């Protein structure tokens, strides 16, 4: 199974010729993260709070200061995902779908200037936390590259973290909230954040 971010706003054929056929084949609805299409399972709690949006608005993409702010945003967004319970639940709702043998599709709006760094930060968080590599499909012509996207499996040193997070997710989903991830664990993960454009 693969984790694929798809931008149907950039190319409407992606919805009719890729997203819908995949949903019908796998009987698995796509997620919706910033897509303007009123379709799919929404992940609205992953949307940053006002403070994180202010960081984004201050970013001047393409210069050194903007790059530094981008790194700071990655760290702040990761902390938001790990410490805000509702965001963590949506995060784990997405990750837990990787347990089946079907691709997980996230409809997004990756071509939007403000959305791009948020999607990128979410992809980095998935990589740092669970070792999961995501793919991005912006046009129907990108479909042929899907075979190059690695399988999205949580294994090796990431498995213990995943099992622990699933325990917290189960409790948050139905029973009183428990403590968020420890500050030490967050700081350890932040040290691992990669700012490579390949992630």
Look at residue 198 in the predicted model and tell me its pLDDT.
47
Dihedral over alpha carbons 189, 164, 92, 55 (to 10 degrees) = -30
- Cβ-based neighbour number of residue 42 at 10 Å: 16
CB under 8 A, 24+ apart: contacts of 111-115: 111/7, 111/9, 111/10, 111/138, 112/9, 112/34, 113/61, 114/53, 114/56, 114/57, 115/34
Q: What angle do CA 193, 118, 69 make, to 5 degrees?
A: 60
Q: What confidence score (pLDDT) does residue 182 get?
A: 63
Residue 67 has what pLDDT?
63
- pLDDT over 50 (residue 37): yes
Mean of pLDDT values over 18-44 = 93
- Point out which residues pair with 5 in neighbouring strands: 106, 136
Q: What is the pLDDT of residue 61?
A: 56
Report d(CA 25, CA 90) in Å as an integer: 24
**What's the predicted TM-score (pTM) here?**
0.82
Q: What's the mean pLDDT when you consider all of the chain?
A: 84
pLDDT tens by residue, 48-81 = 999 898 888 877 655 555 566 788 899 999 999 9
Between CA 190 and CA 6 the distance in angstroms is 26
- Phi–psi pair at 104, nearest 5 degrees: -105, 125
Higher pLDDT, 51 or 176: 51
Task: Delimit the domains of the chain by residue range.
Answer: 3-192
Among 25-29, 176-180, 185-189, whose mean pLDDT is lowest?
176-180
Beta strands 104-107 and 31-32, pairing class: parallel
User: How many Å apart are CA 115 and CA 59, to the nearest integer?
Assistant: 13
The pLDDT value given to residue 177: 43
Q: Do residues 118 and 68 lie in contact, with contact meaning Cβ atoms separated by under 8 Å? A: no
* Of 93, 104, 110, nearest in space to 35 by CA: 110
Q: Which has the higher per-residue pLDDT, 50 or 192?
A: 50
């Amino acid at each position: 199974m693969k984790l694929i971010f798809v931008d149907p706003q950039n190319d409407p054929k992606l919805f009719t010729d890729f997203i819908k056929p995949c949903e019908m084949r796998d009987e698995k609805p796509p997620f919706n993260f910033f897509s303007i299409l009123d379709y799919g399972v929404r992940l609205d709690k992953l949307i940053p709070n006002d403070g994180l949006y202010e960081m984004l608005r201050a970013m001047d993409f393409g210069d050194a200061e903007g790059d530094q702010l981008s790194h700071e945003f990655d760290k702040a967004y990761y902390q938001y995902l790990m410490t805000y319970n509702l965001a963590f639940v949506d995060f784990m709702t997405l990750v837990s779908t990787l347990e089946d043998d079907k691709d997980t599709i996230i409809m997004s709006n990756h071509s939007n200037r403000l959305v791009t760094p948020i999607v990128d930060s979410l992809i980095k968080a998935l990589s740092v936390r669970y070792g999961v590599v995501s793919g991005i499909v912006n046009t129907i012509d990108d479909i042929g590259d899907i075979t190059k996207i690695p399988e999205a499996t949580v294994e090796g040193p990431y498995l213990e973290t995943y099992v622990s997070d699933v325990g917290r997710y189960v409790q948050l989903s139905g029973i009183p909230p428990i403590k968020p991830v420890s500050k030490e664990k967050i700081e350890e993960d932040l040290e691992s954040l990669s700012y490579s454009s390949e992630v």
